[in-house]
Structure 1
Amino acid sequence: MIAARHHVYYWTGLAIGLTWLSTMLVDPDETIFLGYFLGMLSAHATMAATWSALGPGHILWRIPLSLAWVFMLLLAVAVNIAIHNGPSNGVSVVGVWMFVQWILMQMPMWMISAGMGFHLRFREDVDAPAVLGSTATEQTLRFGIRDLLITMAILGVLLGICRLLVSAVSLPGMRELPIFIFLGVAGVVMTFPLVVASLMQRYALAGVAMALLFMAGATFGELMTSEMIGGPGPDIEDFISINVASAFGVLVIAGVVRLNGYSLRKSPRPTFAPVARDSTADSDPVG
């Protein structure tokens, strides 16, 4: 019998397979289909990076399998281009974009994992008492709404700084480069709060709602930056369709993870409950 903690791999694999098939077959000529095509690729690059940093599973095989996850989707892109006569450089362009996003997403995820000690923990591991003389509630710490709000505030400031820097850059003959740099950074900034919110152990629905509002505001920030830079670039319909599809892809994978018993938790260092002193030991000897 398959252990309950391993069910997540099978259901996540099914979701990845369905995404692979749909990404391979969809014709990205229309705005809505292009949004689905790029948005799902972005979402899965984000979730592959999340799994690489937060688990579950051993790190020695998480990282290579996470890269294989991205490579498999890139293969679907190659098949899609062959079927629909896409641009000859499409695989290389999309491949660079996906791997850059995968690498960039590693940075905040490893800050949560290595720096703050949060990991995806199975419910039975969380519910079991961690140390002698203590309860699970006392020994486990949650990533909560307060942490999410602080994260979004920091990311909002970083997004604004990035917008100002990109709009100030002027490269002769390469006017489209700054907008793509900004879009790559913005993609990470927007999906990171949604991933963390959807994996919180408590108040996940409230966290997801706040992350989606943050994502909506960042979408209009993308459009304004694109207009400030000028030159060729996506329209508001493209931004919306890509970000909606990206949010959908993140929520599907995160939902599968949660339904299979995993959430974002950590445990402090083991401690032992104080032992009551024997009052007779301190009393003076009789006689």
Structure 2
Amino acid sequence: MTRPYIPLNALRAFEAAARHLSFTNAAIELHVTHAAVSQQVKSLEQQLGCQLFVRVSRGLMLTTEGESLLPVLNDSFDRIADTLDRFSSGQMREKLKVGVVGSFATGLLLPRLEDFNRRYPHIELQLSTHNNRVDPAAEGHDYTIRFGSGAWHGTEAQCICPAPLSPLCNPAIARQLQQPADVHKFTLLRSFRRDEWSQWLQSMNEHAPSPAHPVMIFDSSLTMIEAALLGAGIALAPVRIFNHLLQSEKLVRPFAAEIDLGGYWLTRLQSRPESTAMTAFSGWLMDTFLPGAH
């Protein structure tokens, strides 16, 4: 059965009256008369064939039918308002949610975001940082930027840039490092990947640290570098991320040798369709970090 047309004004009058439980306050909000709100609600009740309000001594009270209708209208009007708010200069604004491993966010992405915002003012970029252990589905990410090999189950991945690791420390410790074996004199700072220092030392033809060697483990390169700056030990970290600290000489790279255990990747769940905003972001990211590759 075809339902009769219900004017939007009648629904808006009911929604406002239901929120205020007052025709008078609803009329003030909608800039109409008390009589106009009352008539709109009465018309709506006639079309629906049920009563939406009952009058009580202090004003109005919703009936069961009115209580059922109100949240539906609240949600609908909120969605309409949100959609209209997304139009900017004749172009609909798009939201893009990106999860970013903290080191990449602070060291490489944030300094370049002004360019992205200038090129794509209609895309509202929502960033959340993580420590490389993340659930994109649970977080609702459109894209997730991670460090690793690029192999994640159910995920498509594009390499943004390599991120080789090299020892980094403060100047005081650096002055005591004449050869690679000297790192054994200090606490070794690393991520949750157990064999990082062993691989770097083996690349220098040095023996791996003993099981009893003092080690500090971090779930964030940013926290690890803070510890290195404070003299807690020698960090094995992605050099490119911390160029600003190297240039200021707060941080020192005592040896040029590096190992490649992974890079930064732009990842998307295969189950997530690629929107126009996602295409714009991935294209910009690749052009920024791998010019000519996109």
TM-score (normalised: structure 2): 0.20
Please state which structure has a larger fraction of its residues in strand: 2
Higher Rg? 2
Task: Give the structure, 1 or 2, with the largest relative contact order (CA under 8 Å, sep 6 or more).
Answer: 1
- Structure having the higher helix fraction is 1
TM-score scaled to structure 1, two decimals?
Answer: 0.21
